[in-house]
Structure 1
Amino acid sequence: MDKLTFATHTYQQTNVSQTPEVWRVRALRGATTVSQNTKEAIAEAVDELLDALETNNLLNPTEIVSVIFSATPDLDAIFPATVARRRPGWEQVLLLDVQQMQVVGSLEKCIRVLIHLNTPLPQNALRCVYLRRAAQLRPDLALVL
């Protein structure tokens, strides 16, 4: 087995408040619900959610690091990532689907998304989006369309 040699690096600490154009990895959340467990209904809801996130945050797919979708167990007609991958510029975005933990009395037919992106914006400048019945999850962040 070959030995790996690691170079010694010196890292300079920077003060973010004095460097306005420092890019950082930030996270952006969103959620929506669907009326029924069909490919068409899920695709419509995912597109609507991603459109709203892109519009409200001026997202550029080349700046997205990764996206995690979760869906409640009652949604299995299509992967939300399959819908996202069809979007222009999203072909190279790393996408993952997971099943949302099932909690008694929780919101049904719900799709959530967590987007990791590179941006010079501070975390508080990003606008999370909660649509349809998912607005009840975060009424303070719900977007009225």
Structure 2
Amino acid sequence: MIRGIRGATTVDKNEGSEIVDRAYELMNGIVEENDLEARDVAQVMFSATSDINETFPAKALRKLEGWKYVPVMCMQEIEVPSGLERCIRVMVTVNTSKEPQEIKHVYHYEAVKLRPDLTEEGD
């Protein structure tokens, strides 16, 4: 079965190193929480709000051991007036036998506000 794993994080500043570090932290959390192997991942799609443009969050994926051949893409998040600022979102498409409720979506920093129902704080 193909399933999506979602996640999001925020950065304090539009700085390349922080963008990559936070995106890596997010991806690492998704990998650990869901026991992922690169061979089971079909694609990874990152989006970022328009106030994040110093570098590509997708660069973080290349820091994960064994993920060299996983397709990855970045795009700009739509601008919503009440939307969360300096936010990076990710959708990881995986082949898994897990049921939807077994998937662990990961939200860090200010992004926990986006889906409190899917984070530990929202349990």
- TM-score (norm. length: structure 2): 0.93
Structure with higher helix content: 2
**What 5-or-longer segments of structure 2 have no aligned partner?**
none
Q: Does residue 1:130 correspond to 2:90, yes or no?
A: no
1:37 to 2, 5, 14: 14
CA distance in 2, matches of 1:119, 1:104: 36
Shift in Å at residue 79 of structure 1? 0.6
Q: Deviations over 1:86-111 (max 9, x none)?
A: 32111100101000000112100000
- Alignment correspondent of 1:72: 49
- TM-score (norm. length: structure 1): 0.80
Aligned length, in residue pairs? 121
CA distance in 1, matches of 2:120, 2:22: 14
**What 5-or-longer segments of structure 1 have no aligned partner?**
1-23
Which structure is richer in relative contact order (CA contacts within 8 A, separation 6 or more)? 2
- Alignment correspondent of 2:93: 116
Letter of the 1:130 counterpart? Y
The alignment's C-alpha RMSD in Å is 1.1
Q: Runs (4+) of structure 1 moved beyond 3 Å?
A: none
**Which is higher, the Rg of structure 1 or of structure 2?**
1
| Percent of aligned pairs sharing the same letter | 36
